[in-house]
Amino acid sequence: MKRIYSCLTYVAILALLFTSCSKDENSSLIDEPANAKSVDLSFGAVLNDLANRAMSKSHFDQVPDCSEELPVTAVLEISYNNQTVGPIVVDVLKDQDGFFTDYSELLKIPVPNNGSTTVTLESFMVYDGNDIDAQNPYGNLIWIAPKESQVGQFDGYVDKALPFDFQVTDGSKPYIDVEVLCFDRRMVNEYGYVFFNILPEKIYPFCTFVNYCDENGRHYVADYAVDLYFGTDTNGIQLYDHNDQNAMANTGDYGEGNYYADPLCLVVPGPPANLADDLPYLYLVIYPIDWAGTGDIDDTPVPVALSWNMVRDLLNDDGTTNEYLHLLIGECEDALEGDGTIGGGNGCNPSSAEADCDDDQIPNKCDEDNANYAGFDCDGDDIPNGQEATGCVNNSSPDCGIDPPLACNLSIDDASQGCLRGVTPGSDAVDYADNGDFLMITADMDGDPIPLFEDTGIGYGPTAGNFTPSVSNGELTFNIVPNQGFVVTDMLIEVMDEVDGDVYCVDSEPSVPGTYTYPIYVRVKTNICEI
């Protein structure tokens, strides 16, 4: 593979980083009026329980993970008198009332004599002081006060999102509560901040080379442009735009139809700290472009999910060069499809059920690592993997994972000498062929006596008594009355509230546990003896 030198691309991304911060910053005290007095500010970080608030929001399917580290440093920005002060770096202290910021000269606010000053808190972030280096001068970001933003969603889970104003009056000692949320890099765009302002990460080279293939499998050099997002879809933070020159492939013709393209080289951030290396964190969208090297082709955008493993594996040991990721688009069998779901990146189509995109000897349809796994049908039973019961993905039985109906755990002894077995008929037709089946009882039969026939073993004998059921407010009660001169010595009453459903049973009067509505299904066995 080619080695790609990326110095110019690093310059491009650094320019992007510097231009992403456009407002003036001033880390010195604002000039104070001659008659002004100073009032010291202190901020308290109140950690908000987002998990509880998120339970009432239907669009939230996850909440930020929280670090167990304690806060050490706060970095904030304030403005007053039409000027901005910050970033202000201040220690975080703790007493019996909670965490608060230490004294700082930059938090002394000039206030007119007997007057007040309006101060705006613009940003507020809290760090743990661990793993400090040039990229992370304050350690790891653990808490953050969300900003009100159309991009950020977390602002709705605090009572007062940033920025907010407060009044500082002469002679006061303000203590300002600031609601903060746990910071989770997977959801970096939910807090309302500009991505590069809160994640000053080391960047890495990443290069692609794209071929187009036709329906016959012939390969051509592709012309294309890309979008790149930090995230798993187009809702992430956009790092490159396919309309910009630095996101377009450089193609040409050496003559006589000998077309070429240079690898397209970008720079990308590393992955979120709490995301597995094999999970996607970048979302690349390829926009095919018609040109002489391919002619008129399908220009449907092609999405590709990129994990840190895929980026890291392209880096060379010298730290300045990298290999390129070879992708295949077009109309041949192995090409990535324009309407495919996220995944792949190795020329394999992740939406092809029988393919094996990660070469682990497991077809995509049965591979839990495949992005389309939940929608595939591994065992061919017409039940998508995502809807299969636990342990049934590779079991084609339609009954896999379905618990059998509850059975009655009671029994009745055989009728003793001189006694008979009295039973309800298996159907209202009193057909002995249905003996042993449940009898359906409908609402119009409520309170009506049902005959108990003698079960002779080869047919029904004369009636030996009656069984009378009744359902009221969901409760099933019953009574059994034998013929005159006889007594019931044993009974077993079995009830279902649906055909082939759970069976509830009792061996004594006067009710059966459960809640019932008609129709119900009843089977009664009794031992009836002469007095």
DSSP 88-145: EEEEEEEETTEEEEPP-GGGEEEEETT-EEEEEEEEEEEE---S--SS-TT--EEEEP
CA distance 205 to 325: 11
CA distance 425 to 103: 89
Contacts of 428 (CB under 8 A, 6+ apart): 439, 440
Q: Given this model, what pLDDT does residue 467 score?
A: 96
In the numeric block, which tokens belong to residue 440? 């359906």
Q: What is the Cα gyration radius of the chain?
A: 37
Q: Given this model, what pLDDT does residue 498 score?
A: 92
Q: Are strands 203-213 and 324-330 parallel, antiparallel or unpaired?
A: parallel
CA distance 315 to 305: 18
Helix, strand or coil for residue 50? helix
> What are the DSSP E strand ranges found in 271-386?
280-289, 302-307, 321-322, 324-330
In the numeric block, which tokens belong to residue 512? 């059966």
In the numeric block, which tokens belong to residue 117? 């000053």
With beta carbons less than 8 A apart as the criterion, state whether 431 and 517 touch. Answer: no
CA distance 294 to 490: 87
Q: Given this model, what pLDDT does residue 36 score?
A: 55
Contacts of 92 (CB under 8 A, 6+ apart): 45, 71, 72, 73, 74, 99, 100, 101, 102, 126
Cα 504 to chain centroid, rounded? 40
CA distance 376 to 374: 6
> What are the DSSP E strand ranges found in 448-497?
450-455, 460-472, 475-482, 486-496
Query: What DSSP designation does 336 have?
Result: B
Q: What is the CATH number of domain 36-182?
A: 2.60.40
Distances (CA, A) of 330 to 113, 207, 494: 74, 20, 65
In the numeric block, which tokens belong to residue 516? 């019932």
CA distance 154 to 141: 16
Q: Given this model, what pLDDT does residue 25 score?
A: 38
Q: Are strands 439-441 and 520-530 parallel, antiparallel or unpaired?
A: antiparallel
Q: What is the dihedral of CA 145, 148, 149, 151, to 10 degrees?
A: 40
* Residue length of the chain: 531
Return the exposure string of 505-527: e unless at least 16 CB atoms fall within 10 Å of the residue's CB, then b: bbeeeeebeeebeeebbbbbbbb
Listed as ranges, residues in the chain with pLDDT below 50 are 1-31, 33-34, 48-63, 150-152, 194-201, 339-348
Q: What ranges in 20-90 are assigned the alpha helix state H?
A: 50-54
Distances (CA, A) of 100 to 27, 88, 96, 124: 21, 14, 11, 12
Q: Phi and psi at residue 135, in whole multiples of 5°?
A: -80, -25
The pTM of the full predicted model, rounded to 2 decimals, is: 0.35
CA distance 74 to 207: 37
| Residue carrying the six token digits 């039985």 | 397
Residue type, 383: I
Contacts of 330 (CB under 8 A, 6+ apart): 211, 212, 213, 214, 222, 297, 298
> What are the DSSP E strand ranges found in 214-356?
219-221, 223-230, 237-240, 251-253, 259-261, 264-269, 280-289, 302-307, 321-322, 324-330
With beta carbons less than 8 A apart as the criterion, state whether 299 and 287 touch. Answer: yes
CA distance 372 to 343: 8
Q: Given this model, what pLDDT does residue 21 score?
A: 32
Contacts of 481 (CB under 8 A, 6+ apart): 449, 465, 466, 468
Positive or negative: CA dihedral 500, 504, 508, 511: negative
Q: Given this model, what pLDDT does residue 470 score?
A: 95
